[in-house]
Amino acid sequence: MSTVTPIDTPFDKRHSCWFCGEPCDRHFEYHSEVHTPHPSLAVPACGECLALAKQHKLTSIWDCRVAVKDALMRIYAKHLAIGINWTEEELAESEFSCNVFGGFKKSAWMMYQIARDRINAPGWPIVLEGITIDDQGYSAGFEFDGVIYTSLHAAIHYYSSQFCLDPRFFAELVRLLGRGRFNYALKLARIHIAAAKEMKQQVLADIKAELAS
C-alpha cells in the first residue's frame, strides 16, 4: 500500500474540514488505485464528511468531494429549504410568537446558514509537500456516451437508476477501473445485476489482482 501524505493545509484552515469547512479533528485517507490521478493522501474531515467520503471514493478526491456535497445537500434538504421559503427579515417579522414557533424562528435561519455554508465551502487546492496536484478536469463534469453529467457521481447515479444496478458495486468498479473504462464498468455491473454479495466481492478482488499484476 502506498504511503498516505496529509495535504498541505493553510494555517487558518488547520482545524477545518476540507469538504465542508466545519471544525474538525479527523482525517479522511484516500488510497489511490492504478488509475487515480493523484497519490494516496489525507485531508482533514469532520465526522460526518468522513463517513460520507468513505462511501464515495469514486475515481479521485475531487469526485469524492462532489459526492460528499451531494449527500450533504440531500441530508440537509429541509434546512436548505428554509432559505428558499423565507428571507431572514420575513422570518424575524413573522407572527410566530408562541413558544414552539418562537424557538423555530430563532434556530431556523441559523440551521439554514450552516447547511448553506457547508455546501458552499470551497476547500483548498490539493498540495502535497509543496507541490500542487492538478485536478486534470476531475472537478468538472463527466462525459459519457455524448452526455455531459454534472459529476461522475451523477453519471453513476443516473445509470444505476436507469438499469436498476447496485450503485455501490458499480461505483467500486469505476473506482478500480478508472473513468476511461466507465463503459466496461457499466457492462460488468449489468452482467452481475442479480449476483450475490460474495460474487460481487470476488469480481472486485479479481479486478484488483489483475490490475496489480
Q: How far is CA 20 from the centre of its chain?
A: 11
- What pairs with residue 6 in β-bridges? 42
Q: Choose between 25 and 210: whose C-beta lies nearer to Zn ion.
A: 25
Q: Choose between 118 and 200: whose C-beta lies nearer to Zn ion.
A: 118
CB of 122 to Zn ion, least distance (A): 13
Q: Choose between 46 and 186: whose C-beta lies nearer to Zn ion.
A: 46
Q: Choose between 46 and 71: whose C-beta lies nearer to Zn ion.
A: 46
CB of 56 to Zn ion, least distance (A): 13
Q: How far apart are CA 161 and CA 41, in angstroms?
A: 31
Q: In the chain, at which residue ranges do the beta strands (DSSP E only) sit?
A: 5-6, 26-30, 41-45, 127-128, 131-132, 142-144, 147-149
- What pairs with residue 148 in β-bridges? 143
CB of 112 to Zn ion, least distance (A): 17
Which residues are at the interface with Zn ion (CB under 5 A)? 17, 19-20, 22, 46, 49
CB of 69 to Zn ion, least distance (A): 10
Burial 122-132 (b: 16+ CB within 10 A, else e): ebeebeeeeee
